[in-house]
Amino acid sequence: MAVKIGNIDLGEFPLLLAPMEDVSDPPFRFVCKQNGVDMMYTEFISSEGLIRDAAKSRQKLDIFEYERPIGIQIFGSDINTMREATEIASQAGPDLIDINYGCPVKNVACRGAGASLLQDIDKMTAMTKAVVDATHLPVTVKTRLGWDDNTKNVYEVAERLQDVGIQALSIHGRTRAQLYKGQADWHLIREVKQNPRIRIPIFGNGDVDSVEKAAAWRMEYEVDGIMIGRASIGYPWIFREIKHFFHTGEYLPGPTIAERVAICRTHLKQSVEWKGEKTGIFEMRRHYANYFKGIPHFKEYRMKLVSLADIADIHAVLDEISEQFELEEA
Ligand SMILES: Cc1cc2nc3c(=O)[nH]c(=O)nc-3n(C[C@H](O)[C@H](O)[C@H](O)COP(=O)(O)O)c2cc1C
């Protein structure tokens, strides 16, 4: 059965790209979209930054037609600021607004935003209602299991936020206290999904990094879809591989060298178009090694790619890589 958020039809068992600060920008989203992701989010945007008109926050509002459906994610600690930020974000024309109640980072969570709202469900509920009332768009939420081991309250959080009108919930199977350590535990996510009161889609998030895991956890935890973050960094093919498996029951082979090279060219092009030549080239540097993970003797090429400042020179090295490794592949 197709999963729907408001009028947005995500198809059967959608795969979502997790919002990731400094990662899920338009160039990265472009390559994920090429690889079949069903729904994406911007990086999180500070509500305070938005209402102050800070350039960094504004820039994160950039979304493109081909990205739809896409959600803008906002966070904050003050309800009025969140209301105003919701109005600004809605004007940017996304398909939905997502609220971040999961960020564990100190200067977010310790300033009363992100995951810290998990310690004050009344305020979280009031904030969510304010956001829902401030926009004509569907509102979704991304959160964690709870603040720490003693307060895993996502079951109650899900009910209360559904009651004030959110239309989907993504749950990262860790507490705030866990940060990114240990393993994600999806048992509570299943409990939320099985709650007979819950009608909205529940998306599972945390540690999905292979086709096998996606297939096994889909069955075991009965979620409506899966959100993937870190495993897509340097490997956006994970979306097409999982989708292919669900459609055919067969495993796609991994990307060829030609595909790895092609994705570097595309990502670089998008990066330069969106950020300008200098920043675009510079920020692309951290991606090359990821796209060639597992390819032996890549280091020499990586060193070249991250030192060059001219687009033509970078393409020339990518040509070299194609020739060198395609021969080996054949
Ligand atoms: C570099 C990085 C940046 C992140 N930024 C955000 C963010 O802006 N908003 C958010 O809700 N979660 C953010 N997260 C959390 C991810 O969305 C996701 O919940 C988490 O990485 C677990 O999923 P995964 O195991 O598939 O990566 C970030 C995670 C990473 C690794």
Computed over every residue of the chain, the mean pLDDT equals: 96
So what's the pLDDT on residue 325?
82
**Tell me: the pLDDT tens digits for 137-162?**
999 999 999 999 999 999 999 999 99
194 lies in the same domain as 219? yes
So what's the pLDDT on residue 317?
97
Ligand 1: atom nearest CA of 230 is 27
Taking the centre of ligand 1 as the mean of its atom positions, its distance from the CA of residue 299, in whole angstroms, is 27
Domain limit, last residue, from 225, 248, 271:
248
Query: What residues make up the domain containing 262?
Result: 257-329
218 lies in the same domain as 141? yes
CB burial string 152-168: b at 16+ within 10 A, e below: bbbbebbebbbebebbb
Q: How many domains does the chain have?
A: 2
Residue 330 has pLDDT above 70, yes or no: no
**Tell me: the pLDDT tens digits for 44-87?**
999 999 999 999 999 999 999 999 999 999 999 999 999 999 99
289 lies in the same domain as 306? yes
**Tell me: the pLDDT tens digits for 213-237?**
999 999 999 999 999 999 999 999 9
So what's the pLDDT on residue 23?
96
Q: What is the CATH number of the domain that holds 176?
A: 3.20.20.70
**Tell me: the pLDDT tens digits for 108-129?**
877 889 999 999 999 999 999 9
237 lies in the same domain as 305? no
216 lies in the same domain as 301? no
Per the annotation, where are the binding residues for FMN?
Answer: 73, 142, 172, 229-230
Strand-strand pairing, 40-46 and 139-144: unpaired
Ligand 1: atom nearest CA of 114 is 11
Catalytic residue annotation = 103
Q: Which residues sit with their C-beta closer than 6 Å to ligand 1? A: 18-21, 23, 43-44, 73, 100, 102-103, 142, 172, 205-208, 228-231
Rounded to two decimals, what is the model's pTM?
0.97
CA distance 189 to 139: 19
Taking the centre of ligand 1 as the mean of its atom positions, its distance from the CA of residue 101, in whole angstroms, is 12
CA distance 231 to 234: 8
Test site for ligand 1: of 230, 238, 286, most ligand atoms within 8 A of the Cβ = 230
Residue nearest to atom 15 of ligand 1 (CA): 20
242 lies in the same domain as 273? no
Q: What is the CATH number of the domain that holds 289?
A: 1.10.1200
182 lies in the same domain as 275? no
210 lies in the same domain as 306? no
- C-alpha distance across the termini of the chain, in Å: 42
286 lies in the same domain as 205? no
149 lies in the same domain as 231? yes
Taking the centre of ligand 1 as the mean of its atom positions, its distance from the CA of residue 88, in whole angstroms, is 23
Residue nearest to atom 2 of ligand 1 (CA): 20
> Residue 163 has which token pair?
């009651």
CA distance 156 to 227: 21
Residue nearest to atom 30 of ligand 1 (CA): 20
CA distance 19 to 32: 12
Test site for ligand 1: of 15, 20, 186, most ligand atoms within 8 A of the Cβ = 20
235 lies in the same domain as 275? no
Domain limit, last residue, from 202, 227, 248:
248
Domain limit, last residue, from 248, 275, 303:
248
CA distance 167 to 200: 6
293 lies in the same domain as 196? no
> Residue 227 has which token pair?
């959100």
Per the annotation, where are the binding residues?
Answer: 73, 142, 172, 229-230
Residue nearest to atom 3 of ligand 1 (CA): 20
CB burial string 70-100: b at 16+ within 10 A, e below: bbbbbbbbebebbbbbbebbbebebbbbbbb
CA distance 145 to 137: 26
Ligand 1: atom nearest CA of 18 is 17
